[in-house]
Chain A
Amino acid sequence: MSESNGLQPSRRAFLRGGALLMAFTLLPVARRALADTEVDTLGTVVLAADLPGSLRTNPFLDAWIRIGADGITVYTGKVELGTGVKTALLQIAAERLQVPATSINLLTADTALTPNEGYTAGSHSIFDSGTALYNAAAQVREMLVEAAARSWQVDAALLSTRDGVIEGPAAQRMSYADAVKHVDVHQYAKAQSPAMAAADFKLIGHSLPRLDIPAKVSGGAAFVQDMRLPGMLHARVIRPPRPGCTLQAFDAASIEALAGVVKVIRDGNYLAVVAGDEWQAIKAMRRASEVTQWSGGEAIPEAAEIHGLLKRLPSRRYPISNSGTPNGAADTRFQARVTKQYLMHGSIGPSCAVAWFKDGSLTVWTHTQGVYPLRAGIAEMLGLPPERVRCIHTEGSGCYGHNGADDAAADAALIALRVPGTPVRVQWMREQENLWEPYSSAMVTEVDAGLSRGRLQDWAYELWTTPHNERIVNAGRLLPARLLARPFASAPSVPIAQPEGDGDRNAVPLYELNSTRINMTFVTEMPFRTSAMRSLGAHINIFAIEASIDELAIRAGIDAVALRLAHLSDPRARAVVERVRDEIGWPQKSNEPGAGIGFAFARYKNIMGYCAIAVKLRVHSQTGEIRIDHVVTAVDVGQIVSPDGLRNQVEGGIVQSASWTLYEKVAYDAGGIRSYDWSGYPILRFTQLPKKVDVHLLDQPGEPFLGAAEIVQGPMAAALGNAVANATGRRWLNLPLTRSNPPA
Chain B
Amino acid sequence: MSQITLNVNGAAQPLELEPDMPLLYALRNHLNLNGAKYGCGLGQCGACTVIVDDQPVFACLTPCAGLEGKKIRTVESLGSAEKPGPLQTAFIEKQAAQCGYCIAGMLMRAQALLERNRHPDEATILEHMAGNLCRCGTHLRIIEAIKQVAGHNGSLT
Contacts and interface: CB of A to CB of B under 8 A. Distances in A.
B29 A277 contact: yes
B70 to A, nearest CB: 20
Interface residues of A, number: 62
Contacts of B104: 216-217, 219
Interface in A392-415: 395-398, 400
Contacts of B125: 686
Chain B binding site: helix, strand, loop or mixed by DSSP? loop
Given A430-B39, A678-B45, A348 B81 contact: no
A645 B21 CA distance: 40
B127 A213 contact: no
Interface string B74-117: 11101111101000100110010111111110010000000000
B33 interface: yes
A628 to B, nearest CB: 12
B56 interface: no
Given A279-B22, A348-B101, A350-B38, A679 B139 contact: no
Given A218-B84, A220-B81, A689-B140, A429 B97 contact: no
A678 B40 contact: yes
Contacts of A527: none
A82 interface: yes
Contacts of A679: 44
B86 to A, nearest CB: 12
A687 B126 contact: yes
Contact of B137 (A218, A234, A279, A652): A652
Interface string B13-32: 00000100110010011001
Given A348-B134, A349-B37, A648-B141, A218 B47 contact: no
A644 interface: yes
B42 interface: yes
A207 B99 CA distance: 18
Nearest to A347: B135
A209 B95 CA distance: 7
A217 B92 contact: yes
Interface stretch (A26-34, A185-193, A488-496, A653-661): A653-661
Nearest to A219: B35
A429 B81 contact: no
A225 B74 CA distance: 17
Contacts of B134: 348
A347 B97 CA distance: 14
Contacts of A219: 33-35, 74-76, 104
A685 B130 contact: yes
Nearest to A652: B137
Nearest to B1: A259
B7 interface: no
A737 B35 CA distance: 36
Contacts of A644: 95
A500 to B, nearest CB: 23
Interface string A280-302: 10000000000000000000000
B95 to A, nearest CB: 6
Contacts of B39: 348-350, 430
A687 B139 CA distance: 10
B47 A216 contact: no
B138 interface: yes
Contact of B84 (A217, A223, A655): A217
A84 interface: yes
Contacts of B135: 346-348, 397-398, 400, 656, 683
A279 B38 contact: no
Nearest to A84: B98
Contact of B101 (A218, A397, A683): A397
A222 B143 contact: no
A684 B137 CA distance: 9
Interface in A256-279: 259, 277-279
A651 B101 contact: no
A693 interface: yes
A218 B32 contact: no
21 contacts: A82-B97, A213-B97, A214-B84, A223-B37, A278-B28, A279-B29, A347-B101, A395-B99, A651-B140, A651-B141, A652-B137, A653-B137, A655-B137, A655-B140, A677-B42, A685-B130, A686-B125, A686-B127, A686-B130, A686-B132, A687-B126
